[in-house]
Structure formats: structure tokens, C-alpha cells
Amino acid sequence: MPALCLCYEVHEPYRLCRYTVFDMGQNSLYEDDDHNCDALLLTARTCYLPMNDLLLKLIRRHGKAFKVAFSISGTALDQFEQYAPEVVESFQALADTGNVEFVAETAPHSLAFLYSRDEFDIQVREQCERIKRLFGKKPTTFRNTEFVYNNDLPVALEKLGFKAVLAEGADHVLGWRSPNYVYRPISTPRMRLLLRNSSLSTDIGLRFNDQGWDQWPLTAEKYASWCHSFAASSEIINIFNDYHSFGLRNPRESGIFDFMEALPAALLAHKDFHFVTPAEAARKIDAVGEVDVPEFMSWDDEGRDLTAWLGNDMQKDAIHTLYALAPRVRKVGAPDLARDFERLQTSDHFHYISTKWFADFLSDRPNPFDSPYDAYITYMNVLADFEMRLTAMEEAATEAGKTTRKTPRTTATGTAGKKRAAPAAKAGGAKKKTSA
């Protein structure tokens, strides 16, 4: 009885402004607020609000037979709350149906797992708490940024309490096997691994509006027939896409909303098919075997590797410089610094520096910079100013500590009414605590 699992990435980065060396030390306003606001409002109007309304309509029409999942980044939630709170409300309306699962990821949509496990843990816990606060339930399924995955990831996730993890169904990992089954990570047999069906996902995400595609135009009935053809050789079909596929990457004029409105009925017309959320699939469907992924993979391009973010020396220099600051940032504990530091970890910043893919950005996620070199220079200027702020706070904390230690202590007045010097602390005695 094949299951259908739909999960959508919902992510919006904070784009940087044109930050030059002349701005360093003068202002610490790194983000292009006007651009971010305009982009978010456009996306809300053309994608999030109409698509959420459609999904709510489909849930009311099909009841418990139709289900869906979302992986929403913390930077997307920040911008929803900042610029379009009605988007959060529309996701909450979906959550209230009980037919929607919210999958966890790192709060700033970062590559922290590659460079700092401490930072990764902080960001995942932060995002889980926020998802529970906004949507009422703590996530038990995890999807890493851009589906970056290897054998080490489920080990870390199991310690954080997760039961399932999503990943790309890459051919070089699966070999002759199909992604249309539930698997176990080789490193954590108790967890469940759900793999994306790349072909069926791409048919909607990238090919739907391609008039040069030999299957264009794609109808709900045609797509359902492709899924139904797997009935005898599948237990689950995982269709994972960027939510921008609806209204932005494929505009309304392409017929994408009409396609999605008709799709559930077309899929459910085959009596053996039913929709599940990732958590349900992990709980109800037995794993058929183990998957070994010793090297990192992602869902990007045909190579399914990390070259989109770490393919050249500029990208590596930027990300290594960034994560070298992590222990210092967390030690200082300043909220403003921590917020800026997390937003600087968003993977989009490193994607903009890519030379390999510079001419291949999708229309819904364009590169805001004229070249990868401009993106790199801007990012490093921002990072230099950020480190200046960090160093200043460290020095201020050190000076505050020195001042506190030098302040003489006095006791209450003696019987003669004169103040007496406090006795020196004995070796091993408690020291007075100071805060930065």
C-alpha cells in the first residue's frame, strides 16, 4: 500500500547590503532591509499565502486522506514576523488541522554541521523550541540545510531526540536500489531514513514550466500515473521540493496551482495510495535495509555534492574565517552578536560566492551581487567589522573584570564606629563572581 510523502523547504535568507571597507568601524548595518522586505512581500503574495490557502482547502476537501510537511528556516520565520505576520498565521491554520508536520532544521539554514557540532546543536535546539512554540508540537523529523547528509548526521540527531531524517535519494549512494522505501542509517539502526525521489520531485520543482520538456504540459493525471506505476515496487514515494516552486519558480500562469489542486484526487484515485507525514512514515513503515553514506551529499545539481557552497577557495576562506569565531561569540554571550553571527552562517551567502554556478541561479533565488568576487568582498568586509565588534566586547568584559577585582571591599562599622578593612580571602575560598 504505497504512501506519498510531500515535504517543502520554506527558506528566506537575509541578503547583505553593499558593505565596503569605508563602512567598517562606522556602522554595523549589514543587511539590505529594503531588498529583504520587497522580496519577502512578493514571495508572500505570489507563493506562501495562495499556496497555504490552497493546501488548507485540500485538507478540508480530503480530510485525513491528505497530509503535508514543511521545513521552515528560522530566517524565514524572522522575516515573516518582521514583514508579513499573516504568513505565520496561515501556517498556524495549517498546523491546527492536524494534517501537517513541521520538520526541524538549523535555525539560520546553516552548514554548521560541517564545522561546529556545538553550534549545530545550539541552532537545532533553538529551532525545535520555536517550532513547538509557534505550531504546537516538537519536531521528531530533521532535514539538514540543502539536504546535506552523511553517516555522522543521524548519530548527532539521535542524541537530540530525533526519530527520522530526510536526505537525497542519490544514485551514487543507492546504486541499484530504489528511493521508494524506508531505510535505516548504517550508523543508527533505530532511526529511519526517508530518501527523496529526485526525478518525480524535479518534474514539479524544475521541469513543470519548461516548454522544451518532452512531457510538457504536465497534468495531474499524467503525474499520478507515473506515481501509480510504482505501486508494485514501492512502499513510499517522497516528493521533496522548494516551496518557491509554487507561484515563483512556476508562476500562476503556468497552471501550477491548478495542477496542485487536482493532484491529491488524482493520486488517491488509486485505492492503494495514501498520504503520510515523515513522522508517520518512520513510525508505520518498516525499514528494508541500511544506507551507507560515508561522504557528504546534498540535493544540489547532478553531482549531489557540496560544490555549490564550498567549491572554490573564496568560499572556503569565508566559511573557515566565520566558524573560527564561534567559540568567542558564544563565550561573550551578547544577543546582538549571536543574532548577527547566526545570520552570517546562512548557506546562501556562500552560494553567492560560487564561481561554478554563478550563471545558473534560479529566477526565484537570484544572486544579489554582480559577481562571486563582489559577494566575497562584501562578506569578508562584514565579517571584519563583526570581528571588530566582537573584540571590543571581549576587551570591555576584560576591563570590567579588572575593575571589579580592584574594588576594595569593606565590612560593617565596628563597635567604635570605624570601618575595618575586609580580611584577605583564604586560599581556596570563594571568589566574587563578576559578569561582563
Contact (CB, 8 A) for 149 and 293? yes
Give CA angle at 57 (163, 240), nearest 5°.
35
Q: SS3 of 103, please?
A: strand
- The pLDDT assigned to 300 comes to 84
Provide DSSP, 244-269: GGBTTTB-GGGTHHHHHHHHHHHHHT
Distances (CA, A) of 97 to 88, 135, 222, 239, 284: 15, 11, 29, 21, 21
Contact (CB, 8 A) for 377 and 18? no
Active site residue 146: yes
Distances (CA, A) of 63 to 70, 103, 224, 236: 18, 21, 19, 20
> Could you tell me the residue ranges of all domains in the chain?
3-291, 313-398
- Taking only the tens place, the pLDDT of each residue in 9-36 is 999 999 999 999 999 999 999 999 999 9
- The pLDDT assigned to 408 comes to 58
Query: For residues 164 and 140, what is the distance between their CA atoms, to the nearest angstrom?
Result: 7
Give CA angle at 123 (34, 103), nearest 5°.
90
pLDDT tens track, the chain, 436 positions: 799 999 999 999 999 999 999 999 999 999 999 999 999 999 999 999 999 999 999 999 999 999 999 999 999 999 999 999 999 999 999 999 999 999 999 999 999 999 999 999 999 999 999 999 999 999 999 999 999 999 999 999 999 999 999 999 999 999 999 999 999 999 999 999 999 999 999 999 999 999 999 999 999 999 999 999 999 999 999 999 999 999 999 999 999 999 999 999 999 999 999 999 999 999 999 999 999 999 999 998 777 899 999 999 999 999 999 999 999 999 999 999 999 999 999 999 999 999 986 656 677 788 999 999 999 999 999 999 999 999 999 999 888 877 766 655 554 444 444 444 444 443 344 343 333 3
Catalytic residue among 9, 101, 146, 168: 146
DSSP structure class, residue 46: I
Q: SS3 of 291, please?
A: strand
| CATH of region 3-291, choose from 3.40.1440.60, 3.20.110.20, 3.40.190.80, 3.40.50.720 | 3.20.110.20
Contact (CB, 8 A) for 69 and 7? yes
Cell numbers found for residue 221: 493525471
Distances (CA, A) of 202 to 45, 170, 425, 426: 24, 13, 70, 71
- The pLDDT assigned to 404 comes to 67
Which amino acid belongs to residue 226? W
- The pLDDT assigned to 379 comes to 98
Q: SS3 of 143, please?
A: strand
Which amino acid belongs to residue 279? A
Distances (CA, A) of 423 to 206, 217, 409, 413, 420: 76, 87, 9, 14, 9
